[in-house]
Structures are given as structure tokens and as C-alpha cells.
Amino acid sequence: MKISNKAIQSITSVKSVQPHAVLGMHPHIKGKVNCLVVRAYVDDAKSCELVDVANAEGPRYKLQRLTKDGFFEGIIEDRDEVFKYRLRIERFNGEIRQFFDPYSFLPTLSEHDVYLFSEGSDHFLHRKMGAHIRTIDGVIGVSFAVWAPNAERVSVVGDFNHWDGHYHPMRSLGASGIWELFIPGLESGMKYKYEIGSRHGFPLLKTDPYGTFFEAPPYNASIICSVDDSYEWNDAEWIEHRAKSDWKNQPISVYEMHVGSWKSVVEDAARPLSYRELAIELVEYLKDMRYTHVEFMPLSEHPFDGSWGYQVTGFFAPTYRFGSPEDFMYLVDVLHQNEIGVIMDWVPAHFPTDSFALSQFDGTALYEHADPRQGFHQDWGTLIFNYGRNEVRGFLIASALAWCERYHIDGLRVDAVASMLYLDYSREEGQWIPNQHGGRENLEAIDFLRKTNDLVHKYYPGTLLIAEESTAFPGVTKPTSEGGLGFDLKWNMGWMHDTLEYFQKDPIYRKYEHHQLSFGMLYQYSENFTQVFSHDEIVHGKRSMLLKMPGEPISNKAHQLRLLYGLMWMWPGKKTLFMGSDFGQSAEWNYNKSLDWHLLQYLDHHGIQMVVRDLNRLYQEIPSLATGDNRPEGFEWINCTDAENSILTFLRKADAPTDDLTAVGNFTPVLREGFRVGVPHLGFWKEILNTDAKEYGGLGFGNNGGVLAEAVEWDGRPYSIKLDLPPQSMSVFRYQG
């Protein structure tokens, strides 16, 4: 025996941070003769021999078994240069196995890689960290790399070693905190985790933070899965078009959806549709409804269905629930081939406390802040990322870029941005720590958001960054070069709250709240907004969009909902609407069951759907709408003060007069006959939308397709049109000349 008992115990008790220094093949001097020593620690091995790869039929070199649990050592006296070899073991059951030694390979990360990781300047960490199928020196296997700077030791455990942390200890790459190991012979589909020896004296079993695929709860193991080159894309034309697009002047109508509750396969235990099934049914629906984009509520891996995906444990992995990563790629590819953009909800604001994931990853607060005043989210019982650590910022930036790179995502809607921006978000005095200037702004999170937005735009031109930000934080959609956060769009939460509050009032009282309809124009152009009615508005007792409307029966509510959508689409800003709301589902959204598609057999619901479809069509066909979304000169009030009649009138203007629109909303159940509205042009105004049309389920009042403007001054304008305004309706007229 040429090795000390202490060195053997460092391996068998898993205490060595440099197992490669002990195991594997090393030059050795026996007496005065140069030779080689080989050591291996293998599970369930009765005997172990070494086979020269270059001379597989030649003599084998027998290793001596030094411990009962499989530590072997052998001296090769007739050779002094390290060579490529395999280990050949015989198990106690007689099985023979031959494999390359994991401890015969150099690190798969260079010193430069490690430096960039620690500095936080490697934007594509997902290409190096985690588990990757690689070919090294002609040998196929899997390289593992994980960050655990405060760990006593780290091992890869999985199907391939009976989940025993003794047999694949990783090597430490010094002060970087990275642990690395290449294991030959591993394949896609094998499950694994990291066993981390903490300073508390007990091991932790953790999934891979950079994992690309995971098994179902309650086990949650990471699964080896090659995603970088696993799919042949057919969307090059779409990607090229996206890069050249001027999204500010193009229609963006987003269908927000939760994949698990969109539609069920009733005959198969009411399971949700798979990614590949969605590539048929969802694509057909979006095309028929004329949506330009679909927004998926988080499809990043998450253990608890009831979180709706917002408590993420797999920041690089599409959820297993609907298929494989390749299946998700196929869905995105088909959407692109049908000219539909894909937006993903992305959650860098917080993560859950599940013990198998990021929380206390190496036994210490690693991804989160140690101080709960900074690191614990009181509203959601989750943990807040430490944006001040280079390695954490690098992890999150890599996550954003990985969705764009691997899955060709066209946009990220960043969830809960307000909770990131403010240190005192949802906290009382004494429950938070001010920034270095004594303020409440989270300067590190702000810097992280700016950097992420800039990098996504740099590497993937045309990709949209959308903020769910509920405060008046300035410059959310300003470029970072001008001191802004660099987002492209911001959810217009203020307009949504004011408008819904108005619509939920009995029409008899609406005249007292008329200002709520016009107030939003005071700040409409302070940011690049998307008007939105999201999933958050139809859960937890808030009622569905249809049942928010006052009065009875359902047909009356449907009248008002069609009016509301007419106002939303004619109002400046991009559009975002949650699934089910576009056909007036009666029940609140339930994440655990399918939408009530059967309601479409009734005209009230089908009519709401038809209105949304026609609004999407008009939004895409009429230049004054999309091009005026972010230009103050594209909007002009005609009359916003007619509270007594509860009528709102405004213009949507374009460069050509024939694209000018006059929108007239009547917000009470009163038919207004002979109602005059001032207009800028003399001639014929075609009625292009009437939400009271019979085909929508309305009463059929209207203006017989259009009206001629007269030289009668009204609303401070030289001309006017005389209209019959249906009750609770939106009427839109396009100038024809």
C-alpha cells in the first residue's frame, strides 16, 4: 500500500475537496524508478483492473482492494507516462463493467471561465454550469458544475451510483466556490442531485440550479437533458423579422394564459393538453382570434401547482407537466411559423423556501440575503435574491438569456417588479434596511434590471421586456442610457383599476365617477403601456370579468363587457387579456380545471368572443391604432366631460385623414337618439364597430353603417355627426372622405 490511511479516509469519508489529487492515475517513484500509481473508489466492486485503451487486448493491470467499500490501488511499474485507460470491475453478483475513470480528466472549466463567473461578466453561464453532455478527449459523458462556496464537500448522486455521495465527489475550483466533475458514460434521462456537505454537519440533497429538466414532485430530481442542440428550428424567417420590427408602431395583442387550465382532454382523465397538442389547438385559436402574441404564465419548473408557476425552482427548465424541453421548443417553433410571438412570465423577484432547491443552498444564505429584513418576502413567504452578489446576478441574467437562446422566446414579462424596486415593499417601519444613501430604493435590484434588459436587447434584437410594475416609479420604459430601467412595455395597472372601479358601479351612479374614465390620459404617455386585464383580476373572490359588470341578467352584463373591451382596444396602448375573459367566462379562473368552453354555445358569450376577434382585426388593419399607441399626437379628446350623459368621445388620429377614427362610448343603458359629436372632417364616417350589433348578442341599434358629417359646429369643432347611440355600447367610425 502506497497511500496513507488518512488519505484513504479523506475519500471514503468524503472529506477531500480535491479527490482528483488522490484518485485517478498519477506519476509515482518506487525506489528510484519512475512508474505510475492508480487509485479508484468504486461501488459494489469485488475486483478492479485497469485496461489500456490503446491496447485493449493487451495485459490488464490489477488493482489491490484496500477497503471493504471499494477503495483500490495499484502500481504500474513498466510505464512512467500517464495514459488513457478504463477501469474494469467485477461486481459481487458476477457482473462485469468497464468504464472510463471520472478522476482521469482535467477540469471542464478553464481558469478564465472561473474568473468571469466570479466577476459576474459571463452572460451565458448556463452553457458551463449545471449538467452538460460533452465529449472530452473522445469520451462521451456529463460535466457537472455547481456553485457552493461554503460547502465542506459536494458529490454528484443519482441513478448511476445508488444515490450514494461517497462515489462521485467533486473537486473544488478554489475561491470561486465552484465544484466540478466529469463523469463518463452518463446519458440523457438519468436523474441526479448534488449532495452537499454543510458546515452544520449534515448533508443537503439539492437539485441543480442550472438544471434543464426535472422529475415530478415529490422527488424533484434533476434529469440529464441535452437542450442546446437537441432541436432543429424552422423559424429563421420569424427571428429575422423580429429583429427588424419596430414594435412601438406595430399591433401587440397578447393572450395571457395558464397552460394547465386552458383546455382538458376529457377522455384522458381530464388531463391538460401537452406542448405538442397545444401546437395544434392553441395555434388555431390564436390565429382565429387574431392575437399577435401569447403570454404563458410561468412555465419554469415549479413544485406547487397552486403557485401558478410563480414560485420557481427550475429557472432554466420548462415544466415537466406538459412534455419535454424539446416538446416546448416544438410549440414555440410552430407558433413562430404561424407568425405568433411568444412571451414568457419570468420571476427574478423571489424564490420558494423548498429545501431541495435554492434556499440555503450550501447550508448558508447563498442566493438570498441572510437578513430576513432583506431576504424574506413577507407577502408570499418566499426568499428574495441577493442582487448584490455577482454570482447571483450572473445566474439570473443567464436564466433570461437562456430562455431566449434555447427556446427562442420573443419576450419576458417580469413579474412583481415593484417588489424588487423598493426595500420597504410591504414592510413596516423597522422591518427593512435603507440603502447606502438612506433611501428606500433597492439600488442593486435596479442595476440588475437595467443590465438584464440591456443584455437581452443586445443579444436578441426585437425581444420585448415587459414590466408588471404597480407603482409610479419613474422611467420604467425609458432607455437605460436616459436613466430608465430599459423595459419596452409596462402593464397599465392604474388604468385597469380606475376603469374596473367605474364599470362595477351601477350605471345610475356612473355620472359621479366619470373622471375615472379620463384620468388615465393624464399619464398615458409617461410610459410605453400595455392595457391589461390579467389573471390577477379574476381570482380570490374578485369575480370574473363578466360578473364584475353590475345588474342582471347575463345579457346585460355581456353588453357592458363588450363596451369595456371596445374602450380598451380603442384606448392607446398595447393589449393584454387573460384567457376565458375573451368569451366572458362566468366563473372565476380556477388553475385546477379547464376553461368553460361550453359557454360558447350561448350568444352572450360567443358575442363577447366575436367582439374581441373583431377588435383584434381592426387593431391590426387600421394604422391609426397601433402607430398611435405611444404617440400623444395620435389621441385627441372630443368630449371627456359629458358626465351627465355618461358619454365619452375621442379621436384616434393618423397621418392620413382616412385613417382617423371617432370612438363614442355610451356607458348607461339609455338609447341616445340624435346625439351630436364633433368631428374634424366633412364627409362620410363609416361605422366600423358597434358592440350592440345583433351578431354580438346586442339589441341591434346603430347607424346603418355610417353617417355624413354636417357643417354644424359641435364640441368646439366645425363639423359634427348625428348619431343614434345604443345603450351600453362602443361605436367607432372611420373617416372615408
CA 408 to CA 234: how far, in whole Å? 11
Residues 270, 274, 276, 278: what is their CA dihedral angle, to the nearest 10 degrees? 70
Query: 493 vs 277, 468, 529, CA distance in Å?
Result: 33, 8, 9
CA atoms within 13 Å, Cβ hemisphere of 323: 16
Q: Which residues pair with 385 in a beta bridge?
A: 368
State the cell numbers at 358. Answer: 435554492
Burial class (CB in 10 A: 0-12, 13-18, 19+), 722: middle
Instruction: Detail the DSSP E strand segments found in 240-340.
Output: 253-257, 264-265, 271-272, 293-296, 300-301, 314-318
Residue that is written with C-alpha cell 456529463 in the block = 142
Helix (H, G, I), strand (E, B) or coil at 94: coil
CA 43 to CA 70: how far, in whole Å? 6
CA 400 to CA 315: how far, in whole Å? 9
Going by C-alpha positions, the residue among 449, 542, 527 that lies closest to residue 492 is 527
Peptide bond into 218 cis (omega under 30): yes
State the cell numbers at 266. Answer: 376529457
Residues 472, 476, 478, 483: what is their CA dihedral angle, to the nearest 10 degrees? 90
Contact assessment for residue 373 and residue 284, using Cβ atoms and an 8 Å cutoff: no
Q: Report H helices in 493-602.
A: 493-503, 515-518, 545-548, 554-570
Residue that is written with C-alpha cell 420569424 in the block = 238
* Identity at 452, one-letter amino acid code: T
How crowded is residue 32: how many other Cβ atoms within 10 Å of its Cβ?
Answer: 5
State the cell numbers at 244. Answer: 427588424
Q: Is the four-CA dihedral 643, 640, 663, 503 of positive or negative sign?
A: negative
| Interacting residues of 550 by C-beta distance below 8 A, sequence separation 6+ | 503, 504, 505, 506, 507, 557, 560
CA 250 to CA 165: how far, in whole Å? 55
CA 712 to CA 730: how far, in whole Å? 23
- To the query of whether residue 468 is one of the catalytic residues in this protein, the response is yes
Coarse DSSP helix, strand, coil percentages of the chain, rounded to the nearest 5 percent:
30, 25, 40
Q: Which of 73, 122, 208, 415 is catalytic?
A: 415
Indicate left, alpha or beta for 220 from its phi (over 0: left) and psi (-120 to 50: alpha). Answer: left
Peptide bond into 572 cis (omega under 30): no
Helix (H, G, I), strand (E, B) or coil at 143: strand
State the cell numbers at 339. Answer: 407568425
Q: Which of 333, 444, 468, 692 is catalytic?
A: 468
Contact assessment for residue 146 and residue 179, using Cβ atoms and an 8 Å cutoff: yes
Indicate left, alpha or beta for 723 from its phi (over 0: left) and psi (-120 to 50: alpha). Answer: beta
CA 151 to CA 198: how far, in whole Å? 5
CA 468 to CA 419: how far, in whole Å? 10
Q: How far is CA 234 from the centre of its chain?
A: 22
CA 211 to CA 144: how far, in whole Å? 10
Contact assessment for residue 317 and residue 300, using Cβ atoms and an 8 Å cutoff: yes
- To the query of whether residue 415 is one of the catalytic residues in this protein, the response is yes
* Identity at 699, one-letter amino acid code: L
Catalytic residues: 415, 468
